Amino acid sequence: MKLSILDQSPIRAGISPDVSIRESIALAQHCESLGYARYWVSEHHSSDAVAGSAPEILMAAIAATTSKIRIGSAGIMLPHYAALKVAEQFRVLEAIAPGRIDLGIGRAPGSDGRTALALNPNAAAAADAFPAMLRDLQAWTANEPLPVNHPFRVVRAEPLGPHAPEIWVLGSSNYGAQVAAWFGLPYCFAYFFNDGQGAQEALDIYRATYRPSALNPQPHSAITVWAFAAETQAEADYHYQSRGIARLMRDRGHFIALPSPEQAAAFPVSESERARMAQIQQAALSGTARDVAARLSALAAETGVDEIAITTTAYDTEARKNSYTLLANEFSLDQTKLAA
pLDDT digits (tens, 9 = 90+) for 136-172: 999 999 999 999 999 999 999 999 999 999 999 999 9
**pLDDT for res 25:** 98
CATH number, domain with residue 168: 3.20.20.30
**Tens of pLDDT, residues 308-317:** 999 999 999 9
> Within a 10 A sphere around the Cβ of 114, how many other Cβ atoms?
10
Which residues lie closer than 8 Å to 316 by C-beta, 6 or more apart? 239
Sign of the torsion angle spanned by Cα atoms 107, 203, 307, 213: negative
Stretch 44-59: mean pLDDT? 96
CA dihedral 290, 258, 3, 330 (to 10 degrees): -20
Range of the domain at 6: 2-337
**pLDDT for res 338:** 42
Band of pLDDT at residue 111, cut at 50, 70 and 90: confident
List Cα–Cα distances, 286 to 35, 117, 281, 291, 292, in angstroms.
21, 37, 8, 8, 6
**pLDDT for res 339:** 38
**For residue 335, is pLDDT > 70?**
no
DSSP 8-state secondary structure symbol assigned to residue 149: T
The helix-helix angle for 174-183 and 130-142 (nearest 10°) equals 40
Q: Are 167 and 96 in contact (CB under 8 A)?
A: no
Complete DSSP assignment for 32-45: HHHT-SEEEE----
Q: What is the distance between the alpha carbons of residues 34 and 333, in angstroms, rounded to a whole number?
A: 7
Q: SS3 of 307, please?
A: strand
List Cα–Cα distances, 117 to 104, 110, 120, 180, 293, in angstroms.
22, 12, 5, 26, 41
pTM of the predicted protein model:
0.95
**For residue 336, is pLDDT > 70?**
no
**pLDDT for res 110:** 66
DSSP 8-state secondary structure symbol assigned to residue 12: B
- Number of folded domains in the chain? 1
* Neighbouring-strand partners of residue 285: 227
Sign of the torsion angle spanned by Cα atoms 134, 135, 138, 141: negative
Q: What is the distance between the alpha carbons of residues 287 and 102, in angstroms, rounded to a whole number?
A: 30
Residue type, 335: Q
